[in-house]
């Protein structure tokens, strides 16, 4: 049982780390001479522009920013609730609250990545050129990590739902 508990804790910490990296790192959309994420656009690694209210075209990025931050916060809260329930629950009870919070984190990261994907497809299909390198890039590793974090948070949410506290 101790090995299973260590595995679950490790899995949850990896999920949180993936969410932190995907939220913070600047590699959601990359090209030969630029990279962009939900926070800023950098051209030639020197000219970085924060995405703010001046970019009206990127208003949907606010939703992506908010849901990624919420997902990361919920994942951390879920871990703390798990630790509290680990010592407070009676034997045989399930970690339902932990599971619900972790599945909400999963839902938030899915919404963020889906909005970003949809926004990126709209820009590509409409041939709008909000900033010059938009069309000549591909999804970066932070975007892929967001989808991997979705899978990890979903699996850990299910593990908590199924897991019963045993000796």
pLDDT at 5: 84
pLDDT of 131 strictly over 80: no
pLDDT at 89: 79
Q: Domain for residue 134, yes or no?
A: no
What tens digit of pLDDT does each residue of 86-108 get?
Answer: 888 777 677 889 999 999 999 99
When divided into structural domains, the chain yields a total of 1
Q: Rounded CA gap, 46 and 43, in Å?
A: 6
Q: Domain for residue 156, yes or no?
A: yes
Q: What is the mean pLDDT of residues 2-7?
A: 84
3-class secondary structure per residue, 18-86: HHHHHHHCCCCEEECCEEECCCEEEECCCEEEECCCCCHHHCHHHHHHHHHHHHHHHHHHHHHHHHHHH
Percent of the chain residues past pLDDT 70, beyond the cut:
83
Q: Domain for residue 37, yes or no?
A: no
Q: Domain for residue 68, yes or no?
A: yes
pLDDT at 149: 94
The residue assigned the tokens 């990590």 is 145
R_g of the chain computed on alpha carbons? 19
pLDDT of 73 strictly over 80: yes
pLDDT at 129: 44
Q: What is the mean pLDDT of residues 112-122?
A: 81
Domain span including residue 10: 2-27+59-126+141-162
Q: What is the mean pLDDT of residues 51-73?
A: 79
Q: Domain for residue 47, yes or no?
A: no
Q: Domain for residue 135, yes or no?
A: no
Higher pLDDT, 142 or 55: 142
**pTM of the predicted structure, to 2 decimals:** 0.83
Q: Domain for residue 71, yes or no?
A: yes
Q: Domain for residue 35, yes or no?
A: no
């Amino acid at each position: 049982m101790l090995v299973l508990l260590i595995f679950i804790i490790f899995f949850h910490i990896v999920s949180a780390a993936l969410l932190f990296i995907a939220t913070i790192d600047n590699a959601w959309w990359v090209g030969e001479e630029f990279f962009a994420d939900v926070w800023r656009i950098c051209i030639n690694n020197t000219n970085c522009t924060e995405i703010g209210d001046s970019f009206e075209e990127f208003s949907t990025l606010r939703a992506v920013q908010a849901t990624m931050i919420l997902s990361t916060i919920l994942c951390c809260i879920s871990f703390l609730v798990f630790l509290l329930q680990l010592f407070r629950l009676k034997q045989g009870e399930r970690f339902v609250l932990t599971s619900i919070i972790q599945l909400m984190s999963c839902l938030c990261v899915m919404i963020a990545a889906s909005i970003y994907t949809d926004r990126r497809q709209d820009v590509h299909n409409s041939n709008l050129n909000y900033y010059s390198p938009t069309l000549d890039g591909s999804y970066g590793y932070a975007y892929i990590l967001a989808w991997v974090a979705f899978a990890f948070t979903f699996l850990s949410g299910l593990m908590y739902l199924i897991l019963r506290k045993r000796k």
